[in-house]
Amino acid sequence: MTEIRVGLLGLGTIGTGVARILIEQQVLISRRLGKNVRLVAAADRDLSRDRGLDFSGVRLTDDANDVVTADDIDLVVELIGGYEPARTFVATALEHGKHAVTANKALIAKHGEELFPLAAEKGVAIGFEAAVGGGIPCLKALREGCAANAVQSVYGILNGTCNFILTKMENEGADYADVLKEAQELGYAEADPTFDVEGIDTSHKLSILAAMAFGSKIRFDEVFTEGISKITADDIESAAELGYRIKLLGIAKPHGTNGNVERVEMRVHPTLVPVHSQMAQVSDSYNAVQVSGDFVEHTMYFGRGAGERPTASAVVADIMDIARVCSSDGGPDEVKHLAPAMGFVESERRDLETLAVADIECEYYLRLMVQDQPGVIASVTSILADHRISLEAMSQKERSEANSVPVIMLTHETSEGNLQAAISRIVGLQAVEEDVLILRKESAVA
């Protein structure tokens, strides 16, 4: 039986999970593949910690360079995370003719466009299923299962930390800061939660999904990104009264003419979704991805977006996909039997523009703090009317101790540029405070 020999970088939570699967599920994997996947070496700076696994027969090292250049390794699994040194290790592995598998969304979002051509030049594969949606096989579904479709939209709840926080705020009426603290104490949120709560992690994942959906290059830096840190328990309650739930969504849509995609819309922000939609039911730390295509219509993929076992499951599925067509005694043509990493052959991937933020069209939720005086609402709605912005609903909360009261408005569809122009005039009104919360609404989620 032929085999593929694996080297692992990082024996943290996910690395330990991958080692566990490769050791404990060896027989099942061989039965599914018709060949062996053998863990040959693993590198970690801390080898003293007991991972509860029998590593006999596995070369353990504290130097990752030993793994990425070793002659007896066919495939390197990078589970260090972050941009560097992960980028250097993966690039070195590819340069040495090794396949690479990673769970690192930051790496793919930021450096994928240099790693894909390098892999192609060397005739090796790069897999990153675990980078988006953790254990959910959503990239494979988009890349292969939905391959016959022109994709019309992608929506995702892609960050478990944010979904956990928003769910708890909703269920308990609790404040953001208190729930974040609790999430940190429980180990759900990082000590520095910025990447998660400010939407950056979701943007990494969305930029990968968008490029795979529309055959474009990954443009992570151009994703319009807002996090959840300004959402209050009152906003969640107001949204619920209007029939919506607030989720941090990644949203990608194609724009163009005659079926040609010319620009890609990419945005990440807290979003009002109809309370009865499937997306609204995705709670706690779960993730979900909705892909809609012109033939298949709506599809949705749900599951664990993080954690040792789900993420390791996706990493090993990638290893098995590569092992299915490649082996230690094979040649560079083998990877041609794999679906292209980004779902389109490399020469057909386009350097498409990102839709300008001002041109994004959606419906809005506005929270204005206004003085409770005659004529204030009339002044606000008159400005909205000047900008041809139509209101769907409005509510005013009772007077608080402060002089200002929150007024919630739901608008019909308008462009971001038009909305912002109206808001800059509204905050110029003497009776309106400057701090306006703008949330966006998506009625089209399934």
Footprint of ligand HSE on this chain (CB under 6 A)? 159-161, 196, 201, 305-306
Q: Given the complex with ligand HSE, which of 162 and 326 has the nearer CB atom?
A: 162
* Dihedral pair phi/psi, residue 217, rounded to 5°: -80, 155
The nearer residue to ligand HSE, 7 or 156, going by C-beta atoms, is: 156
Considering beta carbons, is residue 196 or 265 the nearer one to ligand HSE? 196
Strand, helix or coil for residue 366: strand
Task: Give the relative orientation of helices 26-33 and 13-24 as an angle to the nearest 10 degrees.
Answer: 70
What's the closest the beta carbon of residue 159 comes to ligand HSE, in angstroms?
A: 4
Q: Which is nearer to ligand HSE, 305 or 343 (CB)?
A: 305
Minimum distance from CB of 201 to ligand HSE (Å)?
5
Cα–Cα distance for residue pair 250/108, rounded to 1 Å: 17
Helix (H), strand (E) at residue 273: strand 260-274
Q: Are 22 and 316 in contact (CB under 8 A)?
A: yes
Inter-residue contact 138 to 215 (CB < 8 Å): no
Q: Toward ligand HSE, which CB reaches closer, 305 or 406?
A: 305
126 CB-contact burial (10 Å; exposed 0-12 / middle 13-18 / buried 19+): buried
Q: Quote the least distance from Cβ 275 to ligand HSE, whole Å.
A: 23
Where does 96-159 have alpha helices with state H?
105-122, 138-140
Give dist(CA 231, CA 392) in Å, integer: 21
The distance of closest approach from Cβ of residue 367 to ligand HSE in the complex, given in angstroms and rounded to an integer, is 26
From the candidates 110, 205, 247, 253, give the one annotated as an active-site residue: 205
205 is catalytic: yes
In the complex, minimum distance from the CB of residue 167 to ligand HSE, in angstroms, rounded to a whole number: 13
Reading the block at residue 273, the tokens are 């979704």
How far, in Å, CA of 22 to CA of 378, rounded? 66
- Of 157, 158, 161, 177, nearest to 233 by C-alpha is 177
Q: Which residues are catalytic?
A: 205
